[in-house]
Structures are given as structure tokens and as C-alpha cells.
């Protein structure tokens, strides 16, 4: 275990002005707090935070970060408190430790919810201070290095979490070396057989190709030296996890890989990078499509380099990365490279925050923080972390980085949520294109917008960015809520009219406490969803109203009234197509608050009734439907409704018919021909053959109205091959 003076010495190697007293106090406090605690390996628990601090000293981080690493498990695993940390070490260190503390005391319903909520808290803390992320990644790295001592099932779970979340997060922060080590350590536990196989094959490949690799290094270095370029050339094998992923992705064997080894060329300046590229391309043939310039267009994690592949000495494919020493440092340490000791001091947290990678993370966290649940947050975060990128431009030249596979819809939401929500079309490179077109590097994208547009719910499954999914989900929820609120207002207006009292938002506001809702819209939406009955709202607004006005019990046998249940005196009014007090129904989509009976539907011309279902809205039944008997004892769920087709928009409505036909060739063709000639549309057909002579057929139709349906039924009855046709109203 690292001694107290060793920790101080490690920090003072790169920061002679380190606060030795602060480091000593943190060491002693954490050692006493952890006491005799042991890790699964049997080592003292205190060894773990010291190793985390050691990893961060390799990154040359400031005193506060090192102290936070030493203390990062004290609040979670000992009797220490955040208040105590704040008083002894200051609020800056206290905030870092708090951001790293897991939410053990919260009771979540699933492991995924716990993982999602812990990760949400971590990223929100990271958005406030990037050093939280650096400590967390170092913590995860040391845990992965010592994972062998955990139970097998726990090893796999932690390894999967590492490769799904923490390794991609390290990559997004530009910390490529850390990412690759995390992936390799996780790979050992998730796919042990594959790991062993690739390690064995890789060792054999190295032994067989050492001479070729050394030859390529010498030839490259000599070629550049002859042209006056001082360069360092190093060969480097791909990591086992990277090799396995490529084999899986391309369904190829190890022997079919052509880029197991790559070469890194480090030069003094950017100008030298392009000179080296020119020399290499004029010396060896370039492999088409394999050149990428990340210097002129850096990745979002600040990565900068030139990538190319050539057919080099011995006709071997050679991958090359060309960069400066500064670029190489950023490629290795990522956001931490901005903290490396310079000019006699360590960089501040603010200076580290200037990193493009960190700015990306903050924007991502701001978007994802609006997720409705921990699981949703975790899902969206994974979407943001996993994908490679494409770079597209707006017509004004704004550069937008998106995951590979992104569409113009993703592009619109990346520009602004309002742009995505109002998108109705797009132009890619000046030409009209579908909104689901996969974008390519360099595309110029123009979004065509409409003020009245609401994003379809189906878009959520078609986009690839977490920001787009979150925004579409919010817009869909808001749209559905508005629809329920609109329906709820109509229901309440009719209910208040029946009791002869006025309805107003002011009166509803005054009754919010009695209704246990916070806003008028909450009340309206609850009524529209069937979670609250209109009679309860009437009584809450007018407490002095004893009973809702009803028709007289005795002798109320006027037209339009019928007994809901035999023997009861309660009456209910049949809906009347001419009754202006009935709620108008135009026939709405399945994602709205009003829908038709699932078996048989209803068509204009039918006398209809609405049934409220909690959480589902209103279901419309023909008044002759036998299914209505199930609601006889629930009169508060019945609504007066009427058809409203005054806008003259042509819509089809669902209906179901049952036919009995003779079994002979051409029967089905005659039936479909009649329906087609009458402009009907067949949605579904179900056939049952009770015997060899007849077939029972159920046909779901979409028709304009009752007259249209009756015309189809009448024509079918005239066909000799059909013995019976009836409409089904379930």
C-alpha cells in the first residue's frame, strides 16, 4: 500500500507547489475513516482510494482532485458525512466527493433504475465540474484491474456496465488509452474464451511479423529523415477487444483482418503532418476511402490526427496516424490533457472546462436531464456514447456532429428542439430528400418547417440521438395531454350545462385543492383520460349542489330515455344525432383520446354512445352493441356523443360483416370485387370452414358511413355464392 510520503512525492514531481498539509490531512482522515475495512481481495480497503489517486497523479491533476480521490469512498462506505468533508477540506473538495457518492439509500424498483439514477447524478455532477468524471473513471479503472476477486456473476455485471457506459464515456472525453484498457479488462470477463483465443492468435501474429513491422518502421523513418522531417515512428497492435468487435461486425476471422498493426508518426508541427502525408502518398499507393483529416475537422472529443492506409513494403496494408506531440497527448489523456502541468502550475478546473469534449458532455447532460425516468436517462446516454460520428453543415455553415446513421430529423433537433418539432421536410445538398435519409459526412442539410407541425410518435423509434428521442417523447406526451384536456373540457361543459351552472377556469382554480390537482389543465386531462368523473368536478366547484340534475324518476318515459338496469329507477338519455348538448365525435386516430369499439367499430349514421375508460379515454359504441351491458352499473361512465362531420373531410370508419359463402372457385374474388366496386376498403379477412360445402368469413371494412355499408351488404346478398351476410356489432 502506498505510504503517506509517497503520495506527496508523486504530486510534487509535477507540482512543486502542492499543498503538502492538505494531502497529509486527507491521507490520515481517510485511513482512520476506513479503519479495518477489507476489499474482496483481502487487502485493506484504504489501498483502493490511494491507487485511484496514483492513477490521477499520472495525469498530473491538481491537489483538490487528488484529495477527492483519496476521500471518494468515505461518505459512501464509512460514517463520514459531506458536511464533515466540507468543514475539514472545503466546499470545493466536498462537492467533488458528493458527486461521486452513490445513492444507496434510495429505494428503486429495479437494478436498472438504480444504475440509471446513479449515472444521472454522476453526469449532473460532472456537468458542474469535470474533475468528478476523472476521479470516477480512475476509480472504475482500478476496480476493473482488481475484478478477479469478485463473485463470477458480479464480475460479469460490472464488466458489462463498464463496456456499455464508462469505456464509451472515456472515449467521448478523448481518453483513448483509458478507454482501451477498460474495454480489454471488461472483455476478459464478458467473453473469456474469445479473449483467450485472440490473445493467443495475436501473440503468434506478433512473433511471425516482428521482422516485417521493424522493417516498415525503419523504412518510414528513413524516408522522412531523408526529406528533412524529424519524426518518431512506432508500430502498435490493435487491442484484443477492438479486434474482436471488428471480427463480429464484419463476420470475418482473425486471419482475414488486414489492419491488426498500425503505425503512429509523431512530428513537431501541423505543417509537418501534411508534409508527411504527402510523402507517404507519393511513396506508396493509398487505399481509396481510407483517408480522414481530423486536424481540419476535429472530433467532438478534441481528437486531432491524420489517418490514412497505404499498401506499404512487402505489399502489406499499413494504417498510419500522423499527429503532433500535443495531439498525441490529447489523444491519450483527452480532457485530462488540459490539466497537465505547464509553466510551473496545474491547470484549473475552468481551463479544463474549455475542452470541446467537456462542452459536448455538458450539452448532452442538459438534454438528458429532462428524461422522465432513470431508465430513460440511461438509454439516451448510451445512444449518445456509442456511435461514431458524421459531420454535417447547416446552410449558414454551422457544423453539426451527429452519430453515424443519423437522419435530418436528428439534425433538426441538434440545431434546436423547435426546429426538430416543426420539421416537415428537408433538403440535402440543395435537393429535396426524405426526412429518414441517412446523413453522410459533409452533407449540407436544410430543414423545411411548418408552425402547426407536431412530431409523430413513430419518429422516436427512427432517430438515433438521445436528444431527438427525448424531445419527440416530450412533444408526444404534450400533444396527447392537450388532446385529453380538450376532451375533458368538452365533457365538463356538458356536465355543467346539465346542472345549470357556469364553468370557468377561475372556478376550477378555486377547487384545485378539493380535486387534488395542481393546475386547471391537470383537471381537464384527468377528466379526459377518465381518471376523474365530471360529476366529482361539478360537486367540487359547487359544494352546495346536493345532486346533479336528473330527469324525474317517476313517469320519465319520454322519448330517448331507457332503463339502465331492469328494476332500477335510474334513467339515462340515449344520444341523439340532433342533440346540440352531445359531445361531437369526428372519428379520431388510435393515438388520441377517442377510439371506436375494437370489435365491429361504428360508422356515421349509427346512433352512438361513449364509454369513459380510466387512462384510455372514450370508446365509441353503436347503441345496439351488446358490449354496453357490461357498463349498466356504471352510469357515470356514459357520455352523450354525436357525429360531427361538418368539415366535410372524407374519412373511413371501421365496420365488420359476417358472410356465409359456398365453397367454389372464385367466391372470394366475387366478394372482394363487390367491395372494391363500392369503394370499400378491406382491412382484414378471417375464414373458417365448418364443413366442405360452406365457409364462414369475417371481413373488417373501412366505409364512409352507414348508407355506404348497407349498399355493400345489399349487393353481397344478391350474389348466388353467398347464402347470408350480416353486420357484426360486438
**Beta strands 638-643 and 608-613, pairing class:** antiparallel
Confidence of residue 592 (pLDDT cuts 50, 70, 90): low
95-109, 244-258, 699-713: least confident range: 95-109
Task: Report how far residue 177's alpha carbon sits from residue 344's, in angstroms, rounded to the nearest whole number.
Answer: 26
Boundary of a domain, candidates 621, 643, 665 = 643
**Catalytic machinery residues:** 76-77
Boundary of a domain, candidates 307, 339, 371 = 339
| pLDDT value for 550 | 42
Boundary of a domain, candidates 276, 304, 339 = 339
Residues 293 and 402 placed together within one structural domain of the fold: no
pLDDT over threshold 50, residue 715: yes
Residue 347, domain member (yes or no): no
How many angstroms separate the first and last alpha carbons of the chain? 77
Q: What is the mean pLDDT of residues 116-132?
A: 64
Model confidence pLDDT, tens digit, residues 16-70? 888 999 999 999 999 999 999 998 888 899 999 999 999 999 888 889 999 999 9
pLDDT over threshold 60, residue 578: no
Question: Who's near 137: CB < 8 A, 6+ residues apart?
Answer: 166, 169, 170, 173, 175, 178, 182
Residues 149 and 162 placed together within one structural domain of the fold: yes
| pLDDT value for 374 | 55
- Average predicted confidence (pLDDT) for the chain: 80
pLDDT over threshold 90, residue 446: yes
Helical spans, DSSP H, in 588-646:
none
pLDDT over threshold 50, residue 559: no
Confidence of residue 442 (pLDDT cuts 50, 70, 90): confident
| pLDDT value for 341 | 41
pLDDT over threshold 90, residue 220: no
Residues 322 and 370 placed together within one structural domain of the fold: no
| pLDDT value for 639 | 79
Residue 330, domain member (yes or no): yes
Residues 146 and 261 placed together within one structural domain of the fold: no
Model confidence pLDDT, tens digit, residues 239-273? 888 888 888 877 888 877 767 778 899 999 999 99
**CATH code: domain of residue 335:** 3.30.460.10
Handedness of CA 24, 28, 34, 37 (dihedral sign): positive
176 or 267: which carries more pLDDT confidence? Answer: 267
Residues 439 and 465 placed together within one structural domain of the fold: yes
Tally of domains within the chain: 6
86-95, 177-186, 543-552: least confident range: 543-552
Residue 244, domain member (yes or no): yes
pLDDT over threshold 50, residue 95: yes
What is the span of the domain harbouring residue 416?
A: 357-473
**CATH code: domain of residue 392:** 3.10.20.30
pLDDT over threshold 70, residue 714: yes
Residue 532, domain member (yes or no): yes
3-state secondary structure of 704: coil
| pLDDT value for 447 | 94
Residues 244 and 300 placed together within one structural domain of the fold: yes
CB 72 within 8 A of CB 56: no
Residue 348, domain member (yes or no): no
Residue 281, domain member (yes or no): yes
For residue 629, is it left (φ>0), alpha (ψ between -120 and 50) or beta? alpha
219-228, 375-384, 460-469, 516-525: least confident range: 375-384
3-state secondary structure of 708: helix
Task: Report how far residue 618's alpha carbon sits from residue 595's, in angstroms, rounded to the nearest whole number.
Answer: 6
What is the share, in percent, of the chain residues with pLDDT greater than 70?
80
Residues 524 and 610 placed together within one structural domain of the fold: no
501-505, 565-569, 655-659: least confident range: 565-569
pLDDT over threshold 80, residue 565: no
Residues 507 and 448 placed together within one structural domain of the fold: no
Residue 84, domain member (yes or no): yes
Task: Report how far residue 209's alpha carbon sits from residue 258's, in angstroms, rounded to the nearest whole number.
Answer: 13
Residues 12 and 116 placed together within one structural domain of the fold: yes
H or E segment and range at residue 63: helix 63-71
| pLDDT value for 552 | 39
Residues 164 and 256 placed together within one structural domain of the fold: no
Question: Residue 575 has what DSSP assignment?
Answer: P
| pLDDT value for 561 | 35
Residues 78 and 110 placed together within one structural domain of the fold: yes
Residues 391 and 490 placed together within one structural domain of the fold: no
| pLDDT value for 74 | 92
Long-range pairs of 410-418 with CB within 8 A, sequence gap ≥ 24: 410/439, 410/463, 410/464, 410/465, 410/467, 410/468, 411/439, 411/445, 411/447, 412/447, 412/468, 413/463, 413/465, 413/467, 413/468, 413/471, 413/472, 414/465, 414/467, 414/468, 415/447, 417/467, 417/471
Residue 686, domain member (yes or no): yes
CB 580 within 8 A of CB 560: no
| pLDDT value for 145 | 92
pLDDT over threshold 90, residue 283: no
**CATH code: domain of residue 128:** 1.10.3210.10
| pLDDT value for 142 | 93
24-28, 84-88, 591-595: least confident range: 591-595
| pLDDT value for 119 | 60
Give DSSP secondary structure letters for 216-281.
Answer: HHHHHHHHHHHTT---EEEEEEPPHHHHHHHHHHHT--GGG-S-SEEEEEEESSHHHHHHHHHHHH
CB 485 within 8 A of CB 525: yes
Confidence of residue 725 (pLDDT cuts 50, 70, 90): very high
Amino acid at each position: 500500500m502506498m505510504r503517506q510520503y509517497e503520495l506527496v512525492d508523486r504530486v510534487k514531481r509535477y507540482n512543486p507547489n502542492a499543498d503538502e498539509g492538505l494531502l497529509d490531512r486527507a491521507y490520515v482522515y481517510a485511513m482512520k475513516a476506513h479503519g479495518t475495512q477489507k476489499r474482496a481481495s483481502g487487502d485493506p480497503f484504504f489501498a483502493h482510494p490511494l491507487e485511484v489517486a496514483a492513477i490521477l497523479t499520472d495525469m498530473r491533476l491538481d491537489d483538490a482532485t487528488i484529495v477527492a480521490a483519496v476521500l471518494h469512498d468515505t461518505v459512501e462506505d464509512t460514517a463520514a458525512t459531506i458536511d464533515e468533508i466540507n468543514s475539514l477540506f472545503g466546499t470545493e473538495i466536498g462537492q467533488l466527493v458528493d458527486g461521486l457518492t452513490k445513492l444507496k439509500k434510495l429505494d428503486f424498483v429495479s437494478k436498472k433504475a438504480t444504475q440509471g439514477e446513479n449515472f444521472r447524478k454522476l453526469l449532473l455532477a460532472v456537468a458542474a465540474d469535470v474533475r468528478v468524471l476523472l476521479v470516477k473513471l480512475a476509480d472504475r479503472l482500478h476496480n476493473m484491474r482488481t475484478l478477479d476477486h469478485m463473485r463470477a456473476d458480479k464480475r460479469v455485471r460490472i464488466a458489462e456496465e463498464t463496456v456499455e457506459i464508462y469505456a464509451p464515456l472515456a472515449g467521448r472525453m478523448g481518453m483513448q488509452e483509458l478507454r482501451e484498457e477498460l474495454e480489454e479488462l471488461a472483455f476478459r470477463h464478458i467473453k473469456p474464451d474469445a479473449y483467450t483465443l485472440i490473445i493467443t492468435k495475436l501473440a503468434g501474429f506478433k512473433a511471425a511479423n516482428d521482422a516485417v513491422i521493424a522493417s516498415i518502421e525503419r523504412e518510414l523513418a528513413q524516408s522522412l529523415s531523408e526529406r528533412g522531417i524529424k519524426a518518431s515512428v512506432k508500430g502498435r497492435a490493435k487491442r484484443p477487444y477492438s479486434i474482436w468487435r471488428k471480427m463480429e461486425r464484419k463476420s470475418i476471422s482473425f486471419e482475414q483482418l488486414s489492419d491488426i498493426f498500425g503505425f503512429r508518426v509523431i512530428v513537431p508541427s501541423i505543417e509537418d503532418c501534411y508534409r508527411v502525408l504527402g510523402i507517404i502518398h507519393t511513396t506508396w499507393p493509398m487505399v481509396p476511402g481510407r483517408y480522414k483529416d481530423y486536424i481540419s475537422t476535429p472530433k467532438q472529443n478534441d481528437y486531432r490526427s491524420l489517418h490514412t492506409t497505404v499498401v506499404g513494403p512487402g505489399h502489406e496494408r499499413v494504417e498510419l496516424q500522423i499527429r503532433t506531440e500535443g495531439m498525441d497527448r490529447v489523444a491519450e489523456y483527452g480532457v485530462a490533457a488540459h490539466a497537465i502541468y505547464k509553466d510551473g502550475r496545474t491547470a484549473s478546473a475552468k481551463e479544463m472546462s474549455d475542452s470541446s469534449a467537456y462542452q459536448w458532455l455538458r450539452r448532452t447532460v442538459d438534454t438528458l436531464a429532462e428524461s422522465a425516468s432513470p431508465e430513460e436517462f440511461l438509454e439516451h446516454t448510451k445512444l449518445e456514447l456509442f456511435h461514431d460520428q458524421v459531420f454535417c453543415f447547416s446552410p449558414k455553415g454551422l457544423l453539426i456532429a451527429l452519430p453515424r446513421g443519423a437522419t435530418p430529423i436528428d439534425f433538426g433537433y441538434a440545431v434546436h428542439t423547435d426546429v426538430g418539432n416543426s420539421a416537415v421536410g428537408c433538403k440535402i445538398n440543395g435537393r429535396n430528400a426524405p426526412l429518414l435519409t441517412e446523413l453522410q459526412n459533409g452533407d449540407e442539410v436544410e430543414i423545411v418547417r411548418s408552425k402547426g407541425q407536431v412530431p409523430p410518435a413513430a419518429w422516436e423509434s427512427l432517430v438515433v440521438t438521445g436528444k431527438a428521442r427525448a424531445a419527440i417523447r416530450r412533444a408526444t406526451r404534450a400533444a396527447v395531454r392537450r388532446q385529453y384536456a380538450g376532451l375533458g373540457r368538452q365533457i365538463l361543459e356538458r356536465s355543467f350545462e346539465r346542472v345549470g351552472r357556469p364553468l370557468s377556469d377561475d372556478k376550477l382554480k378555486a377547487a384545485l385543492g378539493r380535486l387534488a390537482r395542481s393546475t386547471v389543465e391537470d383537471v381537464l386531462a384527468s377528466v379526459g383520460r377518465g381518471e376523474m368523473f365530471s360529476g366529482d368536478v361539478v360537486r367540487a366547484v359547487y359544494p352546495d349542489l346536493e345532486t346533479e340534475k336528473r330527469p324525474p324518476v317517476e313517469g320519465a318515459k319520454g322519448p330517448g330515455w331507457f332503463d339502465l338496469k331492469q328494476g332500477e329507477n335510474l334513467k339515462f338519455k340515449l344520444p341523439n344525432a340532433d342533440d346540440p348538448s352531445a359531445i361531437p365525435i369526428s372519428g379520431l386516430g388510435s393515438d388520441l383520446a377517442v377510439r371506436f369499439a375494437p370489435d365491429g367499430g361504428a360508422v356515421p349514421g349509427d346512433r352512438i354512445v361513449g364509454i369513459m375508460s380510466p387512462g384510455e379515454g372514450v370508446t365509441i359504441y353503436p347503441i345496439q352493441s351488446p358490449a354496453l351491458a357490461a357498463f349498466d352499473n356504471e352510469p357515470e361512465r356514459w357520455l352523450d356523443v354525436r357525429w360531427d362531420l361538418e368539415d366535410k373531410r372524407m374519412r373511413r370508419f371501421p365496420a365488420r360483416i359476417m358472410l356465409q359463402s359456398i365453397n367454389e372457385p372464385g367466391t372470394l374474388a366475387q366478394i372482394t370485387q363487390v367491395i372494391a366496386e363500392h369503394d370499400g376498403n378491406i382491412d382484414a379477412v378471417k375464414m373458417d370452414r365448418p364443413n366442405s360445402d360452406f365457409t364462414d368469413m369475417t371481413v373488417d371494412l373501412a366505409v364512409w358511413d352507414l348508407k355506404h355499408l348497407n349498399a355493400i351488404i345489399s349487393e353481397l346478398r344478391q350474389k348466388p355464392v353467398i347464402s347470408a351476410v350480416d353486420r357484426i356489432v360486438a
